[in-house]
Amino acid sequence: MHPTRLLVEPAPGADARALAALHASLGAHVLQELPAIGWEIVEVATGELAQRRADYAASPLVSRADFDRARQLAYVPNDPYYSGMWNLPHMNVDTVWNTTRGSSSVLVAVIDTGCERTHPDLAGSLWVNPGEIANNGIDDDNDGLVDDVSGWDFVNGDNDPDDLFGHGTACSGIIAATQDNNQGITGIAPLSKFVMLKACNDQGYLYDSYVVPALLYAADRGAKVISMSFYGDQVTPAERDAIDYCWSHGALPIAAAGNDSQTIPYYPAAYEHTLGVGSHNNSDQKSSFSNWGSWVDVAAPGEGISATTPGGGYTTGFAGTSAACPNAAGVAALLFAAVPGATNAQVRAALEDSAIGLNQAPYGVWANYGRVDAQAALARVLGTSSGSKPARVLFMSPVGGGLSPVPLGTNTSKPDLLFYGVGFELPNVVRVLRDGAPRPILAQDRHEVHARVGSNLSADISLELNSSVLQTLHWEGAMGWLFAPSDANTKSPATTSGGFLELYRDDGSRFTCTRDSQSHTIFVQLALRKVRVDPIQGIDLEWTRSYTNCNGGTETVEVYDWQSGSYPYGNFVTVHSQLVSNSSELHLAASLPGNPTRFLDPEGTAYVQITTSNANSNALLSLDSFRLHVR
């Protein structure tokens, strides 16, 4: 349907001056009158289509108001692989093509291994730098890069982003392969243009010194979408700043969540200004390899995907969150094309709020918003539907503390009280209550509500949304500050039950983990996000646990040392080890050795592993609480 037009039928006998005043009050104007049938074609502001239709329908001056629906000749793309591209109808991409197939004005930057730019299904979709004259050996646009006509190789410093791996060629085809050329596949946004930015060396590594300049290049060239089918654990402040730069310049960064079947956050997907994408199969089940957790925003098809390959070829088996990422990126390109002038925030909100929810045992809600649905997202960005996802609290940080005295002469400040979740954005009205009394709100956005802690004595802390209490948690007074795991996972075929709510305090509600029948161990990996204390004098672990069917096993607790390298290339430090018996519940503690800040990454995340060896059949770990105690 047209993004800014309505067809309005004035009521019989409606006063012309009153009707004109109605149009003006709604910020609309009449494009054309159709006196033969008594209708008018009216234009309204972008993003207000559904509301204005409702406003007209509610007026006694109007008999009817309808959307300006599109019609198109019915056909199937003639690309031979189309019939096997399950991802397209599954995301309702084919129905969105009735409205838009992308636009040459919507640039998608693909930061990857390079691309075979001569591929017959890609050559026509390549962006051409309007500021450069090809092959004249001159930096015509004065950007410091010579002849960057259709991309750049940030590894070798040249204008040939060739692809030794095929990975970038595959991702580019998913997004923008030419449609209706009687060969190969079709891209999701075939009329959009992509720029290939090579950031992977011949050994398969994407160094920060390659990726960060590529991000800046994409933003400076006006890219609306940035597709990043790579992931790593280490936070790079320069990369985070570059992602923020892209966002501030109107781009939507989209990144693969990673393929390790873990909940620990990976980057760039876990940055707040990145849309993190997990992978699902054609039955809407989480791909066995896909990461998940509080930092994964949406999911998209990531198994058995048809894609372009070097040598002018094709594959029907491209997989991984590397495939899910360009699927989501292609849909984002369609949305930008459908509503020229749409902001990155509007497109992101449309993708997220319209996603189809995913709730799968034993993972639960494994992507915050669900799987991408292009048709529903289009309706949202056009303004023909509205509303956000039902609000959910994923975790609170910190969960207690604040009683430690401040050393004389020390500059320190209390961390904000943070509720992290989904559906907190304006115009929702939020309040944070401490034993029923409101606390000052410091910040509010889609995922975070910040408030002042106030008194540090034990209390009930509630998040209220639109006058209804969404979640009440108990704040525990303690020396220093207490933080609980935001995410937890184990190794298949073992299973877990519970999460933040079961782990944040001793209350009899327990997180459980079963034995891995293959290794005869119990294994739990915990991520504690948003640990924000400065300065830090020391960190302790505190946990309350019990075991069943685990006599004679050895429990080992390790914390990742970020100074030793990015995960998994660095080291975990063992802070606790002891024999296990089927005794009553124990309250345990361990201090982290050395400089405590080495156990937190620059985003304030700690990784902890609990491994219990020699677990018997039906062995079970029950954790009543697990907390990081920061002094």
pLDDT of residue 72: 52
Q: How far apart are CA 190 and CA 178, in angstroms?
A: 5
Region(s) of the chain under CATH 3.30.70:
5-67
Catalytic status, residue 322: yes
pLDDT of residue 412: 56
Query: Are 359 and 284 spatial neighbours (Cβ–Cβ below 8 Å)?
Result: no
Catalytic status, residue 167: yes
pLDDT of residue 385: 83
- Global pTM reads 0.89
CATH 3.40.50.200 fits 82-382, yes or no: yes
Query: Are 574 and 558 spatial neighbours (Cβ–Cβ below 8 Å)?
Result: yes
Q: Please, which residues bridge with residue 117 across strands?
A: none
Region(s) of the chain under CATH 2.60.120.200:
484-630
pLDDT of residue 408: 45
Region(s) of the chain under CATH 3.40.50.200:
82-382
pLDDT of residue 404: 55
Q: Looking at 322, 354, 388, 397, which residue is catalytic?
A: 322
Candidates 383, 282, 373, 267; CA nearest to 328 is 373
Candidates 350, 385, 386, 383; CA nearest to 369 is 350
Q: Looking at 23, 90, 119, 167, which residue is catalytic?
A: 167
Question: Looking at domain 484-630, which of 3.40.50.300, 2.60.120.200, 3.40.50.720, 3.40.640.10 is its CATH number?
Answer: 2.60.120.200
Candidates 609, 541, 597; CA nearest to 572 is 609
Query: Are 174 and 330 spatial neighbours (Cβ–Cβ below 8 Å)?
Result: yes
In the CATH scheme, what is the code of domain 392-475? 2.60.40
Q: Please, which residues bridge with residue 541 across strands?
A: 590, 628
CATH 3.90.550 fits 5-67, yes or no: no
- The terminus-to-terminus CA distance of the chain in angstroms comes to 58
pLDDT tens sequence across 320-370? 999 999 999 999 999 999 999 999 999 999 999 999 999 999 999 999 999
Which run of H or E residues covers position 24? helix 16-25
User: Could you say which residues of the chain have pLDDT below 50?
Assistant: 73-75, 406-409
Q: How far apart are CA 25 and CA 396, in angstroms?
A: 44
Candidates 322, 206, 307, 175; CA nearest to 259 is 322
User: 557-567 burial by CB neighbour count: b if 16+ within 10 A, else e?
Assistant: bbbbbbeeeeb
Q: Looking at 94, 112, 297, 353, which residue is catalytic?
A: 112
Q: How far apart are CA 150 and CA 143, in angstroms?
A: 14
Looking from the CA of 79 toward its CB, the CA atoms found within 13 Å total: 24
Tally the residues of the chain. Answer: 631
Residue 600 in tokens: 């937190």
pLDDT of residue 233: 72
Q: How far apart are CA 216 and CA 199, in angstroms?
A: 12
pLDDT tens sequence across 94-144? 999 989 999 999 999 999 999 999 999 999 999 999 999 999 999 999 999
